[in-house]
């Protein structure tokens, strides 16, 4: 672990919003409170917490979608790619799979049209689809197939680091297992790092090396996956682990 390269460093990140209660008093709502952690090369870090724990806000901050927060987020690799939770809004409904996958490559301007097509087809095959899906629209794909296309789109950018925000929670159990397997294979094949966000300890256990448990914007526990599962210290972690068995 010591000699591994850092991919991401999150230090003392806090964010909050003020809202007016019906009685006219302003309340400060903490979404993230003093969150710090590191992510290393080749590591899959699970970020676990119930909805409202601030994990998606943290992911948005890391991806650069959050306009305002305190603390620092430092990337040591190129910008991360992302796989979203809802496979129904992650792919442009007006475009074909081929267009969706080619667009980022066009932006990169690294390859000519023939090379782009070759790469797209080979990537589709790697995520368990094939050439016949090229001309389909997202509406003609199942949830699992959409998520495969999303993963392919992320991987085509050749990232070292992928943020996956609940990538399997909208899928049923058998498809979940397939997608998790695919993510694990891709990690091994490309030496990727994952920040894997989930509310489900079980899912995290299948993929991650290390876990951060968040509750109400605060990191309550952090540790190796086995240690967290066998010997959870915080009562909230215990609750999550027990719920998953």
Partner 1 sequence: MKKLFAKHNNWFFKVGLILTACMVGIVIIGQFWTPYDPNAMNGAVKGQGPSLQHLMGTDYFGRDIFSRILEGAGATLLIAFFVVLLGAGLGTLIGALTGYFGGVIDEILMRICDALTAFPSVLLALIVLAILGPGRLNVIGVLALVFIPSFARIVRAEFARIKKLNYVSLAKLQGVGHFRIMLKHILPNTLPVLLPAISIGFNNAVLAEASMSFLGVGVSASDVSLGRMLSDSQNYILRGMPWYAVFVGLTIALLILGFSLLGEGLQQED
**C-alpha–C-alpha distance, residues 37 and 219, integer Å:** 9
Scan residues 203-232 and list those touching partner 1 (CB under 8 A).
none
Contact, 82 vs 63, CB < 8 A? Answer: yes
Does the protein bind partner 1 through residue 79 (CB under 8 A)? Answer: yes
Q: Does 17 bind partner 1 (CB under 8 A)?
A: no
Residue 1, class by beta-carbon neighbours within 10 Å (0-12 exposed, 13-18 middle, 19+ buried)? exposed
Residue of 52, 94, 122, 243 that binds partner 1 (CB under 8 A) = 94
107 binds partner 1 (CB under 8 A): yes
Q: Is 188 helix (H, G, I), strand (E, B) or coil?
A: helix
For residues 134 and 157, which CB has a smaller minimum distance to partner 1 in the complex?
Answer: 157
Q: Considering CB under 8 A, how many residues would be counted as binding partner 1?
A: 23
| E strand residue ranges, the chain | 6-20, 26-40, 44-48, 70-75, 81-83, 161-165, 193-198, 210-215, 218-224
Q: Contact region for partner 1 (CB under 8 A) — 83-91, 168-176, 190-198, 204-212? A: 83-91
Contact between 157 and partner 1 by CB under 8 A: the answer reads: yes
- Contact between 93 and partner 1 (CB under 8 A)? yes
CA-based nearest residue to 163, from 141, 183, 185: 183
By the rule CB under 8 A, 91 interacts with partner 1: yes
Q: Convert residues 27-66 into a mask of x (bound to partner 1 by CB under 8 A) and - (unbound).
A: ------------------------------------xxx-
* Strands of the sheet with 81-83, listed across from one edge: 81-83, 161-165, 193-198, 44-48, 210-215, 218-224
Residues in the site for partner 1, rule: CB under 8 A? 63-65, 79-82, 84, 86, 89-95, 100, 103-104, 107-108, 153, 157
């Amino acid at each position: 672990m010591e000699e591994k390269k850092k991919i991401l460093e999150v230090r003392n990140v806090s964010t909050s919003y003020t809202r007016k209660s019906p009685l006219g008093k302003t309340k400060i709502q903490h979404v993230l409170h003093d969150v710090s952690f590191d992510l290393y090369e080749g590591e899959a870090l699970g970020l676990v917490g119930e909805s409202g724990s601030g994990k998606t806000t943290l992911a948005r901050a890391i991806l650069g979608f959050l306009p305002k927060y305190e603390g620092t987020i430092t990337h040591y690799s190129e910008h991360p790619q992302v796989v979203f939770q809802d496979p129904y809004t992650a792919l442009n409904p007006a475009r074909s799979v081929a267009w969706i996958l080619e667009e980022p490559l066009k932006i990169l301007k690294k390859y000519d049209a023939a090379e782009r097509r070759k790469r797209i087809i080979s990537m589709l095959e790697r995520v368990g689809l094939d050439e016949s899906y090229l001309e389909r629209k997202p509406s003609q794909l199942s949830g699992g197939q959409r998520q495969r296309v999303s993963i392919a789109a992320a991987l085509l950018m050749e990232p070292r680091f992928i943020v996956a925000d609940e990538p399997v929670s909208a899928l049923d159990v058998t498809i979940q297992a397939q997608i998790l397997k695919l993510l694990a294979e891709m990690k091994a094949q490309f030496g990727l790092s994952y920040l894997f966000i989930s509310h489900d300890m079980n899912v995290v256990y299948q993929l991650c090396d290390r876990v951060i448990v968040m509750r109400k914007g605060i990191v309550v526990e952090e540790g190796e996956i086995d240690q967290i599962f066998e010997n959870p210290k915080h009562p909230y972690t215990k609750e999550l682990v027990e719920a998953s068995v």
